[in-house]
Amino acid sequence: METDLYEGNPVLKHSFEFSLMILDYCEVLQQEKKFILSNQILKCGTSIGANITEAQNSESKADFIHKMKIAAKEAGETQYWLRLCAFSKNYPDCSHLISRLEQIQKLLGKILSTAKRKHPFSYFLTLFW
């Protein structure tokens, strides 16, 4: 599967590519027998894209926002574990992952702030519908 499947959707594309990067990093952690953090990072790091993908098929605007918030929470958890690795002298470099994650977090923030905004004419729409 190639990431160009997500070309029209930047947050899906970035989160999918990030998941692939997480898989590679966790393989290195596994080889170095750092199983606990590898498992934590693998779960939350790949969950970001899974929740963003779920949001694409949401049943309502509220459901979309809820799923994107979960993705943002998973990104926050991933950031914590990666920072822990970054500040530990015994873990491989993960600065490239942290940079990529920050891009995804910015995208999620913009998406959530846009989705939460009400349409300026929503009051009038409710009067007629």
Q: What's the CA gap between 5 and 115, in Å, rounded? A: 24
Domains of the chain are 3-128 (1.20.1440.60)
Place 128 in a pLDDT band, splitting at 50, 70 and 90.
Answer: very low
Place 124 in a pLDDT band, splitting at 50, 70 and 90.
Answer: very low
pLDDT of residue 123: 41
